[in-house]
Every structure is written in structure tokens, then in C-alpha cells.
Chains A and B, each alone.
Chain A
Amino acid sequence: MKKIALVVFVCLFVLNCFGFSALSKHVVDYRIKAKLVPAEMAVIGEEVLTWLNDSEVPVSELQFHLYLNAFKNNRSTFMKEGGGSSRGSNLKSGEWGYIDVKKILIKDGIDLTLMMEFIHPDDNNSDDQTVMQVLLPEPVQPQETITLKIEFYSKLPKNLRRAGYYDDFFMVAQWFPKIGVFEDGEWNCHQYHSNSEFFADFGIFEVEMTVPKEYVLGATGVRKGETENSDGTKTYTHYQEDVHDFAWTACSDYVEFREQYTLNDPPVNTEMILLVHRTHLNLKERFLQSLKYGLEFYSQNYGAYPYETITLVDPPIKALGAGGMEYPTLFTTLGISFLPEGLRLPEMVTIHEFGHGYWYGIVANNEFEEAWLDEGINTYSEIKAMDKYYGSDRSMIDLGCLKISDALQNRIQMIASERLDPVVKKSWEFNSGGSYALNVYQKAAVTLLTLENYLGEDVMARVMKAFYERWKFAHPKTDDFVAVAEKVSGQDLAWFFDQFLHSPDKLDYAVGSLRSREIKEPEGLFQGQLKSPSDNKEEGREKTYKNEVVVVRKGELIFPQEILIVFENGEEVRERWDGKDRWTRFTYYKPVDLKSAQLDPEKKLLLDINHLNNSLTRKPNKLMPLKCALDMMLKFQKLLTVISME
């Protein structure tokens, strides 16, 4: 037994020495040399990829994402689904983007170039070239690696979506042949869709980027080297472990700011690198402050930020199609120099995209198949952070009397939209881009806010922390989130998630009616004696009212309800209803009338699409229509005076 323990100890020691103490399992190892050629708006690259078959079956072919081919022509799946104008203008001649794999070799010299073919696993669109398959001469056995050398040419599109160029601004993203994820015995390598994002395995990236020396460069990871070349270029080397993508940007108009960020609890020490476009320098402090807030909030609520750097990229105004996008240890924000301080778009986007470093970057779900796991959870986190730092009633807009919170703007978008899809669905199968965004961002976030109100803030905080802790540097699925939520809360939450993640239906409860009727005093023959109302008066009996409250379920979804009933004498009664039937009635015999009834009095059910019908009063409020109508009349009077130039 002692011998076995010793062997185990030695094995662990050896594994540790060879780098297995990494935060993630390194399935991929990319070593890339890239040269930006501004005249061609292109990158010439050479990639050495080592891939580990982490499955239990031999793999006889490899699949790669060639994302830039989405911009190759108007017949790609991306263009056909999105009409070719997502996040920017339509492409013209010379503005198309593509990736051309020139050569692919196994390290021992076997040329696989002729074994490449484009496949279309999602939609059989033969014009789409965003997924490439390469047949191997011999299968890669379980836990073995294969090393490939790939030469490629990436022509960047004029800034359309996420990646591209505008003038001398370059956002180089989804730019290299990127291997898919082999899981459950098959490749998970989807085409680039109009509404989808990405999915990849963790590993190591070491990238050398050569750019004209006047360009300021930002990239994923830590800068390990910087050399000036004789041809007027500079080569930068960046290195990062435990990430699943690598993006970089170069522009001569960036102004670079670097500042160290430290936090004691939990311990965080990271360098903030801000690449602010020179026309947005007035926004620098806003970017910096919101990034600090993001670092603090996510570190304290989920886990310490684990990387040595975080780079914020601020694209120019004409390249906003590249803005608001996340990559490991680097993200793009949105800035317009003349945005007033009370309009917190730069802050919101900064916190949101930084937050993706956690939800997508570290907890790396499959964005193609279950986008809500990063977008929804991150929108929820962003709302919490925005509320904490900018005020829960004005976190999004704070302009004089116009105050709107981040939660409110998300809820309003949710209730204003059609309900055509559930939250959990493959990204490209949503009815439209709007339906995708509504569900994976707004509805998912509002669902989590509602869950928080149901479980309590403290329990929800523990759920989120536990989910992060359990699934960091891994690929969770929806069921994994549900399992963590159930375990931490100690409750069966299947009823909740089944309804709100898997159904497009609506939640809507209403107070249907209030009735209050005086009970007639006994009149007629009782045990042989004739009674009349006047007899009762003589006996001094009080009047009794039959008070009835009817609450109804107008939507298909079910949620337990709390009802606050108030009587004219100020007495309050709280009732609970499981909400399952289409309606229920509460009856009270009391010496006073009903005053009002209110469902969900604490407004916990943000998913309820109509809060207007959640209450009813017996006596109408006459003052409010008077005030608002007079106010509206006065506004119209002012308008008329403008029309007649008075």
C-alpha cells in the first residue's frame, strides 16, 4: 500500500513538473507567426498546432473553423442568414474577407493539403467554406497528440462583424485555422452563422505578430518580446496559457495606457492595458473606472481574475462593428466621444465584455448551441455590477429626470418582444437575430434575476460562485447549471428551468376582480320565528361584507404567487397560491370592504410580462388620470404654440 502511495506521489510530482499544474487541460498548443500586410488588408501566417486527442476513441480526421470565409461571398451561411449587413454596411468589391489555407503538413513531413475539403455540418450549404475537414493517413490514438504545420493567408473584410479593417484600424479575430472540439466521440465544429459565436478547447498560444512599427498593437496574453526589424516593421510576441482563442488589433491612432490593478480579497494582480482611439481620449477615465469595477465585481463574486493582463480596445467610430466583442484577456468596447456621462453605454459595454472573460473565457460553454450560458449569465452579472456601482435605479441612463436601470431596460426589451423561441436553442435556429438576442441576453438575464428573487440574493450568489468554481476552464452545459443551482439551493428547480429556459410561452398573472357585498341580515322564518332587518338593528349587530378576490393566470407558465389583500380599515392579509389553476378565489367575511389586492407585491417576478394587471383597487384613483391628462394637455398646448409660432 505504501508502495502504491509512493508511486502516486511520484507521478503527481512528475506531472506537476511538466506543466500539468495548469488551470486547464491543454488540448491545443498553437505557435503562430503572423505578418500584417496593410496594403493588402491581410495577414500572412504560419501555424504550428499540436492537438491532443483527449477522447477515448481514435480520431481519423480533423475539423477546422475557417471563420473568415464567412465574408468570402454572399452565399456563405453567415451572409445568407444575416442578409450580409450585420453590424455594418454591405461589402463591395475588394472588401470581402477570406482565409486561404495554402499548405497543411504533419510535422514529420506528410503533406495533407490534398486531403482538405469543406464540409457543411449544419445546413448542407455547399457554398459555405467556414468548416474544413482534413483526413489523416493514420488515426490519432486516445491521449496521443498530432502536430501540424499550416500556412495560411487571411484577407480581412472591411469591418463588418467582429473582425476586419477600417482605414488603418485592424481587428484581427477569428483569423487562423482553428481546430474544432472533439467531444462525445465526434467533432463539434459548427459553421459560422449570423447569430452564432464560438467554441474551442483550452490550450497554449504563442503568437509572433509583425506590423508596421508606427502601429500600436494589442493582443491576447502577455508580451514576451518586441523587436524592431530593418524593413520598418516591429515584431511582438505574446504568450498565454489556459485560453481558447487569440485575437489582436493594430492601429496607428491608438493611445496606450497601462496601469496595474491589485485587489487583496481575493488576491488579484493584473495589468490593465487600454488602447484608446485618439478621438476618444475624453472617455479614457470612464473606460478605466468601469474596467476596475468589472475586475472588482467579478473577482469578488465569482473568482479572482486569473490572468496577468486584460486589454481594453476602443475601436474608431466607423468600425463599431468590431466593438462590443470579447476574446480571452482582450475585449473591444464601444465609445463615442460626445456621449454624456449620464448615458452609460461605454461603462455597460466595458463591464459586459470584460465579464465575458469569465462567462465564455473561463467558463467556456458552447456558444453555438447554448449561447445563454455566457450571454444570459453575463448580462445578469453585468446588471448586478452596474446596479452596484452606478445606482440600482439609474445604472443605465441618468439624465436629469430620465433615470433607467440596466435591469429595467433588459426587462422592457423582453416584454416588448414576440415570444417565438425558448432561451435554449441552437443559435442559428432562432426565428431571427432579434429573437436570438432577446432570448439569450434579455430573457435569460431576467430569468436569473427572477430566480434570485425566488431563492434569495445570498443563495443565488452562492449558486453563481459554485457554478464558476465547478466549471472554470471547462465546457458546461445547461444541465450543469441546473444541477449546481439545485445542489446549492437544496431545491428541485426543474419546474423553473423547464419552463423558463425551454419554453417560449409567457408568464402573466393578474388580479381578475374584486367584489365586496354586504351580507343581508337574516330575514324570514328561523326556527319558527319571523325575523326582519329591523330586529337585527335592535340587536345592534354589525354589518358583514362578503369580500372576494379572484386572481387569474393569463399566461401558460406557472409560478407560485403571493397576494397582498388590503381592507378599508388598513388590515392586510397575505395569501399564497401555487398558481397552477387558471384562476382562484379568496373569500373573506369581514365588517369592512376590500380596498385593494396586489399580486407579487415586492415585484419579484420580473418575468411576469405585465405588471399593470398585477393589482386592482375597488375605488379608482381619480387624481392620477387628472394629473397626467392635464400634463399631457399642457404639453400639447405648448406644441400648438410652436406650430403657430407664438
Chain B
Amino acid sequence: MASIVGGFIMPHEPGVFYMPKEKWNDAQKRVRDAYEQIGRRVGELGATTVIVVGADHYVLFGPGCLPSYLIGIGDVSGPYERFPDITQGNIPNNTALALHIAKYGRDNGFDWAVAKTLRVDHSIGVPARLCGLVNESVKGVVPVYLASGVEPLLPMRRAYELGQMIGKAVAAWPEDERVVVIGSGGISHWVGLPEMGKVNEAFDRWVMDCVVRGDAEAMLALSDAEVFEQGGNGAWEIRNFLCMMGSLKGHKGKVIAYEQGPQWVTGLGFAEVFGEAQAATA
């Protein structure tokens, strides 16, 4: 029987990855250490599949077709961006589980868009490489894109409900599978806007607090306009966190790290949400 053994949030700010190792300052080292910590935790949890929930940045999908939510059910590769120490190329997918989630969703009121081939960007490719595929136990990465960057946005509550559906789909999968769900996104950032570079640390820490308290409703109470006011257009990516939280509804967790600084354009939050086994003892 399959189960979700843990969830994580993490950023995918390209500035973290473009910088060669010899130029890392202490803050950059702490950020990269946070990715390593999560990679180790994914291994400790014995994860066999990692579902990464990311955001398209108006690159993979163009004005001709903007999916509300999409799952990769076939060949996956990426990230398409070249970073100094991150592998590109094929990403193994758990195609059987991905197709099951797509079909389960369509049978239960969630009309997934599906991709039979998908070249992912940094929002999925980086978490896949740094935190999933570093573990021998992880045999597949299932990519999920939400409309969390380009308007019109997927409603935040729908993202949360989608996560709940993913949780139910995993529970209904008869194979032995230990699944980790990653919500990939920055917190406050103003992408491409005149305010780009500004960060609202108080908002970032409030979001992280909601995540580790398992309090989705506090986040869901915010309108997109209120999220924009507090955290800019980039903060709309918190629906990626909500999707993960939906898959582990009400579960608590712990903060792993938080950083912000002039070398990046977003608040960088890292946290774990505990799966059933750890939630029972936490």
C-alpha cells in the first residue's frame, strides 16, 4: 500500500544555483545546506517517489495554452536551465503512479491536464535533482505544475483540494510506495515588477508558521490581492505549498531554514511537514 511519508517546502530561486561554489558566501552555504538536509531527510524517510509541485514562469506554457494544473505522466527531463553543478537530462518518472493520480483525479472531479513528454524548469528540476534523485531509494519524480505564476491563477483553495486528492490517490494505489510531496516556491518576491528585490520577511515567516502548524485555512483566508500586497506576484506560489499541505492535511512540521538577502530576489523558506508515522510521535 502506498502512503505519503512526508512533505517539504523549498524555494527554487535561480540565483541560488547560478552561483559557482567558489563564490558562495555564508548565507549561500546555509541555503545549499538546507537543500542537502532535505535531501538526507527524503532518504531517511525511505521515499521511493517524490512528487514535486512547481510553477511555470511563462516559459514552458505560452499564451496558446495555460494549464490550471498539469501532471507529467511520461518522459521527463530537465531542468532546461544550465546551472554549474546541477545535472540535466532524463529524470526518471513513476509513470504508473502518475497516470493513476491523473485517472483518479478525473474520476473524482479534477480534470488534470497531462503531459506525455515534459521538459521541466528549475522549479521542478532543482528539487528533483538536489533533494530527490540524490537518494538511491527514489526511483521516480512525478512533476506537477500549478497555475501559480501566470494569471489567471488557480484558486488557492483549489490547489489545497488538489493536494487532498493527491493524498487520496496515493492511498488508493495498491503498490508499496513511499511518497514525499514537495511544494516548490519562493515566498515574498516581486517578479519582473519595479519592486523586484524587495522581500517581506514578516510575511515569509508567517507563511512558514502556517505551514508547520498545518494551518492551511489561515493562508486560504487571503485573497490573491492580499497575497500580492504582502508578498508580491511571486508569493502566489504559496499555492504550491498549499497543494503539499493538502496531501498531508492538518499535519504539523518544523522549520528547517529561512534566508533572505541582496543576492536573491525572494525570501527562501525551507520546512518539513511530517508524514503519518512521525506525526504520531511528534
Q: Do A and B bind each other?
A: no
Residue positions of A touching B, CB distance < 8 A: none
